Amino acid sequence: MNVIRLLLVDDDPLVRAGLSFMLGGSEDIEIVGEAADGSEVAALVDRTRPDVVLMDIRMPEVDGLAATEELRARKDAPEVVVLTTFHADDQVLRALRAGAAGFVLKDTPPAEIIAAVRRVAAGEPVLSPAVTRQLITQAASPDAYGGRRQTARERITALAERERDVAVAVGRGKSNAEIAQELFMSVATVKAHVSRILTKLDLNNRVQIALLAHDAGLLED
């Protein structure tokens, strides 16, 4: 059994205690550290080498957004899941664009939070198709969208036709199995295409593929 090394980051000690009690009871999850502010995260990551960081957004000195951006810019960065009280928050969008693997609400049932940590550790984003579409819609602000579309379209030209098809399917919130069925390829081939897309476009995860596909206008048909 592979044990998932988890770092908890939240300025509320009661929240940290609750998460530690809840998540630490799972045989496959080990709490390797706790932080009360984003300013503590980089040093703790260096010391504890977590696989996943469960990151609060609002903290007094360095917030979870800045901490996520710093972490995900590093080589061999841990996956980050942001904690929020909102379903669709501009701050969550910033975290996703920075490379967070998704988000969980603070009132999410314990079993779902545990499942979310396991999914992220396995390389899957913690965003349902419905939530992905909601966030992508929120991301398309009229003021910034025009410039993003041109930039996204230029980046998408780096993809081969089949990779582009996979990127569109990822943008629509489909799983690897669903993409394989839709595009008549094996799940292993889908995974290979996703890996190439991430490498070619210098992206962190499937959520960023979805956001880029939307920005490029590939989801409008």
Query: In Å, what is the CA distance from 31 to each residue of 23, 49, 165?
Result: 8, 11, 39
For 84, the token pair is 């929020």
Name the residue type at position 78.
P
pLDDT tens digits for 180-194?
A: 999 999 999 999 999
Percentage, residues of the chain above pLDDT 90: 44
pTM of the predicted structure, to 2 decimals? 0.71
22 pLDDT above the threshold of 60: yes
pLDDT given at position 95: 77
For the segment 207-218, what is each residue's pLDDT rounded down to a tens digit? 888 888 888 888
Residue 159 is predicted with a pLDDT of 95
93 φ, ψ to 5°? Answer: -60, -40
The percent of residues above 70 in pLDDT, for the chain, comes to 86
| Model confidence pLDDT, tens digit, residues 89-147 | 567 677 777 788 877 888 888 888 898 899 888 877 776 555 555 555 655 555 445 56
Averaged over 66-94, what is the pLDDT? 81
- Write the DSSP string, the chain: -PPEEEEEE-S-HHHHHHHHHHHHTSTTEEEEEEESSGGGHHHHHHHH--SEEEEES--SSS-HHHHHHHHHTSTTPPEEEEEES-SS-HHHHHHHHHT--EEEETTS-HHHHHHHHHHHHTT--B--HHHHHHHHHHH--HHHHHHHHHHHHHHHTTS-HHHHHHHHHHHTT--HHHHHHHHT--HHHHHHHHHHHHHHHT--SHHHHHHHHHHTTTT--
CB atoms within 10 A of CB 106: 15
User: What average pLDDT does the structure give for the chain?
Assistant: 85
Which is higher by pLDDT, 212 or 173?
A: 212
